């Protein structure tokens, strides 16, 4: 059974894209806890001239990235390299509304426009509507199930399971969600609801996890696979912090990065096992260290050299504590 952890804190809570003016330039940095835990952080795009110039990214078949640019109302194509600005965008095309979602599944990139349509997006940024039965309307967040290739999406009907090949949809939970993600085993869909992270069994719709209210305005989420934090959730918060949520309910909610602008969605990079963190003025890339990925399938092969360089005595101590915790479940 899944344990439930309830946190009772008074904290800031915000709605998606609730601000209309960019805050002063901020820089997300790892906290001492984040460094000791073996996380590493880099800047993918720094562009405060656009409010959420990027709010989602998906791996295209040719190795590039297809992004949802809320700030420009377009879908964009970029190289998968760090330290870019919006001037480095390779191509863009109008999305026909406010694009919130891009996700890759089975070698295809899918997009979602708030209140509009789901579509496929080619590497040339050709947009083709996705015919679905029954019809569904995209909302706040979408993630690919790594096991069966389905799309789990926030919609105006709740959290839905989309079979993009068969063109069918099914309501998993009739709730008002944000920041959707899926567990690596393909069995649980997580989302932010009312300031808490809730998990639902995809097959039955039953609630199987509830974090209780979390501080900071939780939003986008991604599940860690492998390593000492296996099964734990990275949370991108509206207050510019990044949290580490223990789904076993044993370890306290840990802030691993802080100092950023308003945080929102996250997206996995399947080519590196890292997680893109979207903030109002920048996009960051988070790695979780040795033998783990964030938001994708279990890791294969050796960890990144940059991640190895960040390991410390603090990580070793924390790893022992986490392993002890796992054994006690």
Full DSSP string of 97-111:
S-EEEEEEETTEEEE
What is this structure's pTM? 0.85
Q: What is the pLDDT of residue 298?
A: 73
Q: What is the pLDDT of residue 2?
A: 29
What is the rounded CA–CA span in Å between residue 236 and residue 200?
A: 20
Ranges under pLDDT 50 in the chain: 1-23, 302-329
Q: How many CB atoms lie within 10 A of CB 190?
A: 29
The residues pairing with 197 across neighbouring beta strands, listed in sequence order, are 192
> Can you read off the two tokens belonging to residue 275?
């997680």
Contact 25, 48 (CB under 8 A): yes
Q: What is the pLDDT of residue 49?
A: 87
Residue linked to tokens 């099914």? 170
313 phi and psi angles, rounded to 5 deg = -60, -35
Number of continuous H segments (helices) and E segments (strands) in the chain: 3, 26
Q: What is the pLDDT of residue 33?
A: 96
Closest CA relative to residue 49, chosen from 100, 1, 89, 8: 89
Q: What is the pLDDT of residue 12?
A: 26
Q: What is the pLDDT of residue 297?
A: 76
CATH of 29-327, one of 3.40.50.2300, 3.40.50.300, 2.130.10.10, 3.40.190.10: 2.130.10.10
What is the rounded CA–CA span in Å between residue 286 and residue 257?
A: 10
Q: What is the pLDDT of residue 47?
A: 87
- Give me the sheet containing 263-269, strands edge to edge: 40-46, 282-287, 274-279, 263-269
Q: What is the pLDDT of residue 301?
A: 53
């Amino acid at each position: 059974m899944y344990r439930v952890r309830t946190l009772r804190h008074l904290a800031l809570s915000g709605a998606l894209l609730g601000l209309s003016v960019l805050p002063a330039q901020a820089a997300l940095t790892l906290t001492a806890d984040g460094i000791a835990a073996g996380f590493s952080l880099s800047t993918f795009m720094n562009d405060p001239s656009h409010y959420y110039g990027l709010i989602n990214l998906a791996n295209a078949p040719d190795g590039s990235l297809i992004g949802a640019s809320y700030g420009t109302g377009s879908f964009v194509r970029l190289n998968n390299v760090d330290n870019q600005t919006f001037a480095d965008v390779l191509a863009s095309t109008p999305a026909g509304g406010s694009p919130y979602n891009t996700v890759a599944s089975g070698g295809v990139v899918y997009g979602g426009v708030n209140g509009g349509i789901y579509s496929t997006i080619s590497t040339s940024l050709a947009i083709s509507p996705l015919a679905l039965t029954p019809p569904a309307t995209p909302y706040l967040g979408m993630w690919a199930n790594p096991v069966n290739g389905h799309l789990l999406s926030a919609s105006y009907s709740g959290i839905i399971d989309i079979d993009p090949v068969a063109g069918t949809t099914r309501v998993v939970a009739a709730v008002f969600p944000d920041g959707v993600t899926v567990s690596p085993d393909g069995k649980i869909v997580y989302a932010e609801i009312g300031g808490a992270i809730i998990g639902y069994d995809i097959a039955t719709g039953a609630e199987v996890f509830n974090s209780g209210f979390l501080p900071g305005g939780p939003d986008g989420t991604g599940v860690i696979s492998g390593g000492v934090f296996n099964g734990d959730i990275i949370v991108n918060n509206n207050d510019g912090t990044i949290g580490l949520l223990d789904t076993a309910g044993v370890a306290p909610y840990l802030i691993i990065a802080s100092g950023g602008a308003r945080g929102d969605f996250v997206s996995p990079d399947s080519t590196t096992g890292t997680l893109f963190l979207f903030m109002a003025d920048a996009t960051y890339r988070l790695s979780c260290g040795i033998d783990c990925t964030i938001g994708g399938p279990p890791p294969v092969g050796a960890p990144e050299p940059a991640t190895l360089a960040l390991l410390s005595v603090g990580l070793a101590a924390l790893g022992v504590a986490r392993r002890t915790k796992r054994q006690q479940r």
